[in-house]
């Protein structure tokens, strides 16, 4: 099959590369010339494990190419995927659909024959129907089909998620749309992965409901963590005890500094707006959004408490900036709340992250970058573990404590424990929802 992928960001690039690996002929389109230059040189503009190898293999096999020429890319395509961004609209939290409608209009104007237009971007319920209306209005001479195909991949595990999905969701309004999508995903359905076919509105809703549910799970355990701190329970054991229950499951039950990333924050806000617009306020989702903001702010309080409420001129080393490991994506990362607050309170902030520099340098002014965690803590007054990158999971805490001016740790991902840190020579430790040892406690 011939596929055109409009938008070569996280989702468009990973989907395009994986489709080409299925054997489809894929042309990826983007407007960003810097991105295209890299892609044409065989470089991936994002950090995603395994992506560069898979991309190289399919470019070499002549199944994958990159262009800014949307017209030629879409002309012979059996399916045109739209995978452009749908960020939060400034001010009101609605999904900004200008990129989607802009891309659809460009595609409609470029087409020379009817084709299937597949919306892969996360869009509010009713958007695919508006896309169908826009296509009819722009090209009354063409009978195009619209399909909703929301994407569920996770950054950091995107290739694996795409190649081994829990499910593929396809919302259709015509037999032709359905047939083309069955063909696109045949390599997955042949191997037994479920391809769930629904109507357009249901497919759109599945994506938002799934993300909001996961954000709720994360926020629930974060709130339980706060209660554990007050009551002496240990949230890690609580999460384990809950997660062994097959009705609950262990995933998304790790207490941490609040959810971030390119999807949960904007998708929960958009879903809350959809609820309000339809006179069905989603109180749970609205509360989750509010609690998550509070959780991020509580992380700042934790660090302030750790440093005896005096941050001015203290040196604080922050390990990890991205919203989760194995990505360089900084969108809505808790670090963007925590680090500026520390800087604002007069701390000298040193930061270390294996991949964030390209994205985070401009977003986090007035910090000092280090490549090595041990060098970053040299002479520091506190260390904050903010992202659970593998290289931070087995640090030599004794070595670290020995280098620090005062060995204090805020372990916001529960990678270590109070006893472990104190045994290694730390004088103060605070985690998430479990035993801590603060100096003014004693």
For binding to ligand NAD (CB under 6 A), which residues are involved? 6-12, 29-32, 35, 83-86, 99, 102-103, 106, 121-122, 151, 153, 155, 262-263
Q: Mark whether 263 is an active-site residue.
A: yes
Nearer to ligand NAD, 10 or 185 (CB): 10
Closest separation in Å from C-beta 322 to ligand NAD: 12
Helix, strand, coil share of the chain (percent; to 5)? 45, 15, 40
CB neighbourhood size of 241 (10 A):
11
Rounded Cα–Cα distance for residues 11 and 9 (Å): 6
Nearer to ligand NAD, 83 or 215 (CB): 83
Active-site hit among 28, 263, 307, 418: 263
Nearer to ligand NAD, 262 or 315 (CB): 262
Give the sheet arrangement for strand 348-352, strand by strand.
367-369, 348-352, 315-319, 382-385, 408-411, 428-430
Closest separation in Å from C-beta 263 to ligand NAD: 5
The DSSP call for residue 259 is -
Closest separation in Å from C-beta 284 to ligand NAD: 21
Q: Per-residue b/e over 119-148, b at no fewer than 16 CB within 10 Å? A: bbbbbbbebbbbbbebbeebbeeeebbbbb
Rounded Cα–Cα distance for residues 342 and 253 (Å): 27
Rounded Cα–Cα distance for residues 215 and 229 (Å): 21
Closest separation in Å from C-beta 247 to ligand NAD: 26
Nearer to ligand NAD, 32 or 287 (CB): 32
Residue among 40, 181, 440 at smallest CA distance from 28: 40
Using a 10 angstrom Cβ sphere, with 0-12 exposed, 13-18 middle and 19 or more buried, the burial of residue 243 is middle
Nearer to ligand NAD, 85 or 354 (CB): 85
Closest separation in Å from C-beta 46 to ligand NAD: 7
Residue among 101, 123, 112, 114 at smallest CA distance from 145: 114
Residue among 133, 132, 137, 106 at smallest CA distance from 119: 132
Residue among 7, 365, 434 at smallest CA distance from 227: 434
Closest separation in Å from C-beta 85 to ligand NAD: 4
Tokens 């084709």 — which residue?
115
Closest separation in Å from C-beta 152 to ligand NAD: 6
Contacts of 248 (CB under 8 A, 6+ apart): 242
Nearer to ligand NAD, 154 or 403 (CB): 154
Nearer to ligand NAD, 153 or 397 (CB): 153
Q: Which residue is at the shortest CB distance from ligand NAD? A: 9
Contact, 314 vs 348, CB < 8 A?
yes
Q: Active-site residue numbers?
A: 263
């Amino acid at each position: 099959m011939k596929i055109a992928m409009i938008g070569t960001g996280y989702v468009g690039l990973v989907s395009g590369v994986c489709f080409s690996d299925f054997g489809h002929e894929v042309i990826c389109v983007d407007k960003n010339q810097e991105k295209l230059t890299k892609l044409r040189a065989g470089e991936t503009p994002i950090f995603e494990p395994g992506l560069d190898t898979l991309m190289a293999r399919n470019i070499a096999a002549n199944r994958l190419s990159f262009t800014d020429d949307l017209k030629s890319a879409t002309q012979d395509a059996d399916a045109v995927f739209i995978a452009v961004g749908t960020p939060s609209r400034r001010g009101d939290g609605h999904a900004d659909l200008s990129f989607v409608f802009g891309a659809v209009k460009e595609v409609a104007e470029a087409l020379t024959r009817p084709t299937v237009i597949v919306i892969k971007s996360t869009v509010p319920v009713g958007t695919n129907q508006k896309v169908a209306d826009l296509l009819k209005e722009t090209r009354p001479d063409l009978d195009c089909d619209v399909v909703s195909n929301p994407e569920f991949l996770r950054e950091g595990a995107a290739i694996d998620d795409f190649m081994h999905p829990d499910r593929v969701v396809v919302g259709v309004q015509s037999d032709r749309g359905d047939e083309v999508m069955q063909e696109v995903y045949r390599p997955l359905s042949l191997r037994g992965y479920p391809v769930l076919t629904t109507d357009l509105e249901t497919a759109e809703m599945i994506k938002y409901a799934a993300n909001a549910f996961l954000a709720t799970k994360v926020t629930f355990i974060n709130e339980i963590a706060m209660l554990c701190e007050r009551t002496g329970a240990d949230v890690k054991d609580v999460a384990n005890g809950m997660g062994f229950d097959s009705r609950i499951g262990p995933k998304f039950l790790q207490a941490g500094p609040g959810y971030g990333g390119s999807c949960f924050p904007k998708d929960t806000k958009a879903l809350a707006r959809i609820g309000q617009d339809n006179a069905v306020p989603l109180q749970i989702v609205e509360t989750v959004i509010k609690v998550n903001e509070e959780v991020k702010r509580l992380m700042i309080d934790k660090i302030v408490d750790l440093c005896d409420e005096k941050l001015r001129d203290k040196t604080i080393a922050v390990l990890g900036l991205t919203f989760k490991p194995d990505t360089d994506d900084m969108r809505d990362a808790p670090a963007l709340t925590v680090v500026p607050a520390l800087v604002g309170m007069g701390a000298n902030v040193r930061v270390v992250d294996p991949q964030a520099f390209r994205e985070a340098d401009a977003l986090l002014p007035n910090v000092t970058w280090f490549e090595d965690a041990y060098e970053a803590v040299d002479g520091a007054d506190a260390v904050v573990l903010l992202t659970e990158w593998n290289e931070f999971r087995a640090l030599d805490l004794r070595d670290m404590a020995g280098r620090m001016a005062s060995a204090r740790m805020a372990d916001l991902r529960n990678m270590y424990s109070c006893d472990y840190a104190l045994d290694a020579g730390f004088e103060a430790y605070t985690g998430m929802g479990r035993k801590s040892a603060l100096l003014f406690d004693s």
